[in-house]
Amino acid sequence: MTPKQKRAKKAQLISDYGLRCWWCDYCLPEEKLTLDHLKPKSRGGSNSLENLRLACFPCNNSRGNSLYPPKRLFTLNQSLINAVRGKCTNS
């Protein structure tokens, strides 16, 4: 993907899903969100919008090339997650 294509896909995903990490639901500024492949490219995934989601770096990084949710989700404090859910005013 070229930088221009990345920007366009990121903008479309923000329009579709808001400024939230797909995995932990944290509300983040656009520059803190990364493109995450649901099916990793190393496992045959594509750069199509259907295969891309926005993720915070810790969630994206902890997934690696796994097909499963990030390991860090199982260690996050549930009350902390609930506290930030629904608090995103810029999505």
Q: Which domains does the chain have, with CATH numbers?
A: 3-84 (1.10.30)
Tokens of 39: 């099916």
**How far apart are alpha carbons 86 and 27 in whole angstroms?**
9
Tens digits of residue pLDDT in 20-43: 999 988 899 999 999 999 999 999
Q: What does pTM read for this prediction?
A: 0.79
pLDDT tens-digit series, residues 29-83: 999 999 999 999 999 999 999 999 999 999 999 888 998 888 766 655 555 555 5
Q: What are phi and psi of 3, to 5 degrees?
A: -55, -40
pLDDT band at 91 (very low <50, low <70, confident <90, very high): very low
In whole angstroms, give the CA distance from residue 60 to residue 70: 7
What one-character-per-residue DSSP string does 31-71 give? Answer: GGEEEEESS-GGGT--SSGGGEEEEEHHHHHHHTT-SS--G
Instruction: Provide mean pLDDT across the span 11-28.
Output: 94
